[in-house]
Amino acid sequence: MHKDTKENILLCALPEKEKICYDYVGVVAIKLLFMKRKETKQSALTAREVEEQTRLALAAVFAQKKLSPGARVAITAGSRGIANYLTILRTVAEFIREHGAEPFLVPAMGSHGGGTVAGRRAVLAGLGITEESVGAPIVDGDDVVEVDRAGGLPVYADARAKVADGILLINRIKPHTAFRGERESGLLKMLVVGLGKVPGAALFHRQPPEHLAGTLDAMGQVLLKNLPVLGGIALVEDAAEQTVLIEGIPAGEIPVREAELLKTARALLPRLPFTGADLLIVDEMGKNFSGTGMDTNIIGRFRIEGVPEPENPPAKRIFVRSLSPLSEGNANGIGLADFTTARLVRAMDRRATYLNILTTGYLNRGMLPLIFETDREALEAAAQSLKKTLAECSAAWIKNTLHLQEILVTPDLAGPCRDAGYEPVKEAELAFDGDGNLVPCWGKTGEQSP
């Protein structure tokens, strides 16, 4: 929790004497089914295969651009919780050293980490990425250089990457949470927004949502032309957030190949297997799960002014319980929820959150939802907003929007879950502890469901 009380005043925490009382006889036991997704046909790579495929990917990149002895190669390191991230970065650094060059990591995460050197290092450390674990120095700073212009807009790049002998981009390819285009989250976005640091990220997100895809392409082309980009290592994950593809792409082929890989990634995107539930309970939000704290592709909400909301979202109300410590206080996306807890708001670093919100320009995503001291109060209020009791609500409970292998649902949602490849494993119960907070059901033993 952030310790600066001036920075983290909880405006909405209710004193004990002002606690809200609801017209409820009491909450009866609510049955849940613990469901687990079946293994998919497309197998995830083993740890050994990750290393092997990373080396093959690097060989494909450097087949066209040889490494000179002593060349300094900047490796991008972002803020997302990518599967096998540390193994891939460590393997890349080893490969580059074995070929006589000098690798170094450049934190490439736009405004994340509070837009500071210390904040970015803390984000990487939270992912297990340090100089010792990767075997390469982290070289960072806040200064950027204007490389050129695209459509009248300046195009920025990290000053250290600009003077390197080579730049290797590494990122996961996946649909973006704010716009649609041939290329969304991936290598070009790492180049434009990640290496653009705060100025580049702010300029990019200042564009209207309908122009973001075109802006990404235009700025990406400028940077590919003017920076010493060697190529990229593209990563694709399956619905269980495991690595299924690692591919090396020479710099000149990135735009075309990334568009093709996005189609693959979109087909593998995890989804909640139901629509129209009354409540969606999310244990944790955070930047380590999604740039928006909760992936908009999963929860079916955009909250961007002028952008239509998705049809048939999974749930009518969203309650998010806590902020992941790995988010370093950044609660960007809190406005995607309807209800939250005082403990989440206390964990917010308002400076980091506001910087992220103002950089993107999506103010609605930073608006605080209704805040309650306990989970029970929040859930009862959510039910009341639907003119129901909590016992009458259809509900689903997930850990976060990145890890959807396991979900808890009320029995009425079991059918769609089965149709989507989930199997009932155990029976559980939505219950509260003495403090009024939910008792975790993950991995607990119970009666086997029929």
| 344 and 424 both lie in a single domain | yes
Return the percentage of the chain with pLDDT > 90, whole number.
75
Distance CA 142, CA 120 (A): 10
In this structure, are 295 and 312 located in the same domain?
yes
Is 130 domain-assigned? yes
**What CATH number should be reported for the domain holding residue 57?**
3.40.50.11440
Q: Are residues 219 and 324 in the same domain?
A: no
Helix (H) or strand (E) holding 350: helix 350-360
Contacts 24+ apart (CB under 8 A), 444-447: 444/34, 446/34
* Res 314 pLDDT > 90: yes
**C-alpha distances in Å from residue 143, one per residue of 76, 125, 196, 410:** 16, 22, 10, 51
| Same structural domain, 200 and 260 | yes
Q: What is the pLDDT of residues 272-301, one digit of tens each?
A: 999 999 999 999 999 888 889 999 999 999
Instruction: Give the number of domains in the chain.
Output: 2
pLDDT at 16: 42
What percent helix, strand, coil does the chain show, rounded to 5?
Answer: 35, 25, 40
Q: Do residue 199 and residue 296 come from a single domain?
A: no
pLDDT (average), residues 214-232:
97
Strands 72-77 and 166-172, bridge-based pairing: parallel
Residue 254 sits in the same domain as residue 360: no
Decide if 348 is inside a domain. Answer: yes
Among 238, 268, 298, the domain boundary falls at 268
Q: Is residue 7 part of a domain?
A: no
- Percent of the chain residues past pLDDT 70, beyond the cut: 91
Average pLDDT over residues 407-414: 96
> What's CA 269's distance to the chain center, in Å?
13
Q: Say whether both 88 and 32 belong to one domain.
A: no
Instruction: Flag the least confident range among 47-61, 149-163, 351-365, 434-448.
Output: 434-448
- Per the CB < 8 A criterion, the answer to whether 73 and 161 are in contact is no
Measured over the CA atoms of residue 233, residue 239, residue 244 and residue 249, the dihedral's sign is negative
Q: Tokens in use for 160?
A: 């250290």
5: pLDDT confidence band, cut at 50, 70 and 90? very low
pLDDT per residue over 327-386, tens digit each? 999 999 999 999 999 999 999 999 999 998 998 889 999 999 999 999 999 999 999 999
pLDDT for 179: 83
Give the integer Cα–Cα distance in Å for 383 and 393.
7
Beta partners for residue 231, in sequence order:
168, 250
Q: Is 159 helix (H, G, I), strand (E, B) or coil?
A: helix
Same domain, yes or no, for 189 and 54? yes
Q: Are residues 164 and 305 in the same domain?
A: no
Q: Is the pLDDT of residue 203 over 80?
A: yes
Q: Between the CA of residue 222 and those of 59, 156, 229, 432, what are the distances in Å?
A: 25, 10, 11, 55
Q: Tell me, yes or no, whether 260 and 310 share the same domain.
A: no
In a domain, 421, yes or no: yes
Lookup: tokens for 163: 């003077």
DSSP 409-439: E-GGGHHHHHHTTEEEEEEEEE-B-TTS-BP
Strand partners, 320: 282, 340
The most confident of the ranges 9-13, 73-77, 114-118, 308-312 is 73-77
Q: Contact 320/285 with Cβ under 8 angstroms?
A: yes
User: Do 180 and 246 fall into the same domain?
Assistant: yes
Domain match, 31 and 51 both: no
Average pLDDT (73-79) is: 94
pLDDT of 194 strictly over 90 = yes
Is 444 a member of any domain?
Answer: no
This prediction has a pTM of: 0.76
Residue-range definition of the domain harbouring residue 105: 47-268
Neighbours of 412 (CB within 10 A): 13
Question: Which residues face 128 on adjacent strands?
Answer: none
Q: Are 84 and 47 in contact (CB under 8 A)?
A: yes
Q: Which carries the bigger pLDDT value, residue 330 or residue 80?
A: 330
